[in-house]
Structure 1
Amino acid sequence: MSQPNIAFSTLAQQDDLSLSNLLSLNLWYDIDHSSLVADKEAQTPTYVLLFGFQLGMQVANLAQQLQLWPGQVSAVCRFEAHSDLPPAFVFSVHGEAAELAQQLKQYGADNGVQCAVLVNPPKLSEPGLLVMDMDSTAITIECIDEIARLGGVYDEVAAVTAQAMAGKLEFSASLRQRVAKLEGIPLKLVAELQNQLPLMPGIEQVCEVLREHKWHLAIASGGFVPFAAHVQQLLNLDRIHANTLDDDGEVLVGTVSGKIVDADEKARFLCAYRDELGLAKAQTLAIGDGANDLLMLHQAGLGVAVHGKAKVVAEAPAAITAGSLAQLLYFLTIPAR
Structure 2
Amino acid sequence: MSKSLASIQLRAIAEPAQQLLTLANWYQIENEDHLKPGACPLSEDGQYLCFFGGELSEETILEILGLCERADIEVSRLALYQPAADIAPGLVLYTESTRDVRAPIRTLAAQCGLQGAAISQPPSLRKPGLLVMDMDSTAIKIECIDEIARLAGVYDEVAAVTAQAMAGQLAFNDSLYQRVAKLSGVELPLIQQLKDNLPLMEGVAQLCAVLKAHHWRLAIASGGFTWFADALKAPLQLDAVFANTLEIADNKLTGKVLGEVVDGSKKAEVLKSLTTQFGIAPRQTVAMGDGANDLIMMAAAGLGVAVHGKPKVVEQADAAITEGSLTQLLYLLSVPV
The TM-score normalised by the length of structure 1 is: 0.90
Report SS of the residue matched to 2:138. helix
> Percent identity over the alignment?
47
Counterpart contact for 2:188–2:253, Cα < 8 Å = yes
In structure 2, the residue matched to 1:4 is: none
Counterpart contact for 2:246–2:257, Cα < 8 Å = yes
Counterpart contact for 1:263–1:293, Cα < 8 Å = yes
Shift of 1:111: 5.8
In structure 2, the residue matched to 1:327 is: 328
* Alpha-carbon spacing, 1:281–1:248, altered in 2? closer, same or farther (3 Å): same
Q: Tell me the distance in 2 between the aligned counterparts of 1:267 and 1:10.
A: 48
In structure 1, the residue matched to 2:147 is: 146
In structure 2, the residue matched to 1:88 is: 90
* Alpha-carbon spacing, 1:88–1:287, altered in 2? closer, same or farther (3 Å): same
Q: Tell me the distance in 1 between the aligned counterparts of 2:9 and 2:314.
A: 28
Q: CA RMSD in A?
A: 2.5
Counterpart contact for 1:15–1:59, Cα < 8 Å = no
Shift of 1:106: 3.9
| 1:41-68 Cα distance to aligned partner (Å, 9 max, x none) | 6643310000012355443222112224
Q: Tell me the distance in 1 between the aligned counterparts of 2:258 and 2:111.
A: 44
Counterpart contact for 2:81–2:336, Cα < 8 Å = yes
In structure 1, the residue matched to 2:19 is: 21
Alignment of 1:1-337 (within 5 A): 8-11=5-8, 21-33=19-31, 43-44=43-44, 45-55=46-56, 57-70=59-72, 72-96=74-98, 98-108=99-109, 113-336=114-337
Report SS of the residue matched to 1:139. coil
Counterpart contact for 2:78–2:94, Cα < 8 Å = yes
Moved more, 154-163 or 57-66: 57-66
Q: Tell me the distance in 2 between the aligned counterparts of 1:104 and 1:30.
A: 20
Q: Tell me the distance in 2 between the aligned counterparts of 1:79 and 1:132.
A: 25
Report SS of the residue matched to 2:218. strand
| 1:117-161 Cα distance to aligned partner (Å, 9 max, x none) | 011111101001000000011111110011111111111111111
**2:169 maps to amino acid:** K
**1:223 maps to amino acid:** G
Shift of 1:237: 0.4
Q: Tell me the distance in 1 between the aligned counterparts of 2:169 and 2:108.
A: 26
Structure 2 residues without counterparts, runs of 5 or longer: none
Shift of 1:310: 1.4
Q: Tell me the distance in 2 between the aligned counterparts of 1:144 and 1:150.
A: 10
Q: Tell me the distance in 2 between the aligned counterparts of 1:286 and 1:11.
A: 38
